[in-house]
Structure 1
Amino acid sequence: MSASPNRLVAVELDEESIGRGSPDIEHERAVAIYDLLEENHFALNGHDSGPYQLRLSIQEKRLVFDIRDEAGGPVVTHILSLTPFRRIVKDYFLVCESYYQMIRTASPSRIEAVDMGRRGIHNEGSRILTERLEGKIDVDFDTARRLFTLICVLHWKG
């Protein structure tokens, strides 16, 4: 794990914002948080008080990044419109649903084709997130990918 102050050391999803998903969704959530905490770049513009804790939630149809210092003291809250994410999250869920059904029965070549589509949509969602955070939070591509996964989990209502 990096010793850089520009990183997350804790990530929490607001339990009121999420529903319990399928075992596949719960697995994605756990893996995304684990991977995010193992390696990430998360730098707040105008702050150098990291490392940080992050609590993600959806409140009044907005994505809320509640950022705290390592001890839990408030640093800043960024609120983003969910509108730019709606289509990409919907597309991602549709492809994921197909993917999870296929991994049980389809040929490896079909699974690979759907997985490539799934990764492409995921990359697009990560790019949108990076753009929306510009000027507020600097993240690398892998951090954006893992955060996008968590945003999708917040949208999942079972």
Structure 2
Amino acid sequence: MTVPRETAKPGCRLSAVTLDEASIGRGGADVEHERATAIYDLLEDNAFEPVNDPGEGPYILHIGLAENRLVLDVRREAGDAVVQHHLSLTPFRKVVKDYFLVCESYYQAIRTASPTQIEAIDMGRRGLHNEGSDLLRERLKDKIEVDFDTARRLFTLICALHWRG
């Protein structure tokens, strides 16, 4: 169940997101820029609440990769551990791969295609992004409550973790 933003408890949000550089590694300048942008967008507007957390946010999210799993380490701003979840990346493979292919087509189309063609490709791109966001919300079900916009921003960040530059 997702808590609508207007009824969420105060403080049920992320105040910081960090990436585990040991597991994710550094990318080129473009990759690092995309990751930073994804984090900035996520922090600007989000609704995030670990299920059954007796405390209150805001929360800090540390993201890493371990054995083909996405590691979401949630802490309070003071650094106290709240919960750590490990999500298999396998369910995301196809949608991330398809999303990258459509994004590549979109960026190529911007240079040469008609506005109608660009719009059609962009609709496909947004559809895949929504599909990835829905998948993430389903994978987080009973673990962390997020609204759709937060799931979209987290999915963008998951994609950014896969960019090779």
- What is the TM-score normalised by the length of structure 2? 0.85
Shift of 1:55: 1.1
The match for 1:39 is 45
Instruction: Answer yes or no: is the 8 Å Cα contact 1:13–1:55 preserved in 2.
Output: yes
Q: What SS class does the counterpart of residue 63 from structure 2 fall into?
A: strand
8 Å contact from structure 2 (residues 38, 160) kept in 1: no
AA aligned to 1:10 is A
Q: 1:36, 1:143 within 8 Å by CA — same for their partners in 2?
A: yes
The answer (yes or no) to whether the contact 1:9–1:53 under 8 Å persists in 2 is yes
Q: Secondary structure at the match of 2:86?
A: strand
Tell which deviates more after alignment, 13-22 or 114-123: 13-22
- Taking the TM superposition and a 5 Å limit, the aligned residue runs for 1:128-139 are 128-139=135-146
- Which shifted more, 66-75 or 121-130? 66-75
Give percent identity, aligned residues only.
65
Gaps of 5+ in 1: none
Bigger CA drift: 89-98 or 14-23?
14-23
Q: Deviations over 1:69-92 (max 9, x none)?
A: 112222211001111111111101
Q: Match for 1:55 among 52, 59, 62?
A: 62
Aligned residue in 2 for 1:149: 156
Cα deviation code 1:40-99 (max 9, x no counterpart) = 100111113311001111111001001111122222110011111111111011111111
Question: Are 2:32 and 1:15 aligned?
Answer: no
Give the structure-1-normalised TM-score.
Answer: 0.89
- Return the alpha-carbon distance in structure 2 between the equivalents of residues 31 and 153 of structure 1: 9
Task: Measure, in 1, the Cα distance between the counterparts of 2:62 and 2:105.
Answer: 30
Residue 21 of structure 2 aligns to a residue whose secondary structure is coil
Tell me the distance in 2 between the aligned counterparts of 1:4 and 1:34.
20
User: Does the 8 Å CA contact 1:127/1:144 hold for their aligned counterparts?
Assistant: yes
1:98-144 deviation digits (Å, cap 9, x = unpaired): 11222233222222111110000000000000000000000000000
Distance 2:14 2:74 in 1: 9
Name stretches of at least 5 consecutive residues in structure 2 with no aligned partner: 1-5
Name the aligned partner's letter for residue 62 of structure 2.
R
- The CA distance in 1 between the partners of 2:96 and 2:160, in whole Å, is 10
2:102 and 2:138 map into 1 onto residues whose CA distance is 23
Distance 2:120 2:60 in 1: 37
Match of 2:130 in 1: 123
